[in-house]
Amino acid sequence: MTRQCILIVEDDEAIRRGIVDALAFEGYSTLEAADGERGLEMAIGTECDLLLLDLVLPGRDGLDILREVRAARPTLPVIILTARGEESDRVSGLRLGADDYVVKPFSVKELLARVLAVLRRSPERPSDVHFVPVPDGTADLSRREVRFEDGERRELSEREAELLRYFAANPERTISREEILSRVWRLNPQGVETRTIDMHVARLREKLRDDPADPQVILTVRGKGYMLAPSCAGGPTP
């Protein structure tokens, strides 16, 4: 079985070495970078399964790196490592797409537990779904468009493509509005109005020619959320 690879971007050599040793002892393979520029290059260009990212780095700020990583590799799990204790910094990281954060100083046991938890969740991420069959057409998520057999094409917004990708990556499973807010919007669903999810689903259905009165693509599970119809399970190729 291939070992999962974790990239550590941390400028403090002692902390970085301690993390590398702890992860290696647990059976992970590791990559490391000591500055922001190299860290960003490796995060985008290497086959790592998880990024451990310090916020304060020479060369590039950790939040800037996170923003670019999310644009280039939206499904790569990221845990922020930071000495900053302010809530605003943690919130900024989570809103930019970080999966979790650990505040320094942290114990090795805490870090390893968070790494394991994030990696366990990562199979939910829609990493390899590029095409979703819909009635009389195909949604191309890489190009963010729906192509119909009659020649019409409809453009999907980035959010609509992400939403459809998440549905397709979790076929035949009811997905709650709260889960969508957490996993697609990357927001803490507590206290957030979930009506926005219904509005996005309505617009997505319209672009997919999915009749809201009798939907064939995105099904409503009353009182629970939404589910992609089994006949529309996505895949890596058309």
Domain residue ranges of the chain, discontinuous segments joined by +: 5-124, 131-232
CB neighbourhood size of 2 (10 A): 7
CB neighbourhood size of 152 (10 A): 11
pLDDT digits (tens, 9 = 90+) for 50-99: 999 998 899 998 999 998 888 777 778 999 998 765 666 667 777 777 88
Superfamily designation of domain 5-124:
Response regulator (3.40.50.2300)
Q: Token digits for 199? A: 């509005």
Work out whether strand 225-228 and strand 218-221 pair parallel, antiparallel, or are unpaired: antiparallel
Return the structure tokens found at 71. Answer: 């644009």
Q: Is the pLDDT of residue 238 over 80?
A: no
Token representation of residue 117: 């938890």
Identify the bridge partners of residue 133 per DSSP, sorted by sequence position. Answer: 138
Residue 34, C-beta contacts closer than 8 angstroms, at least 6 positions apart: 10, 11, 13, 16, 58
CATH topology of domain 131-232: Arc Repressor Mutant, subunit A (1.10.10)
pLDDT at residue number 1? 43
Q: What is the mean pLDDT of residues 196-211?
A: 94
CA atoms within 13 A on the CB side of 204: 29
**For 4-35, how does the pLDDT look when each residue is reduced to its tens digit (9 = 90+)?**
899 999 999 999 999 999 999 999 999 999 99
Nearest of 30, 21, 26 to residue 51 by alpha carbon: 30
Using 50, 70 and 90 to split pLDDT, how confident is the model at 37?
A: very high
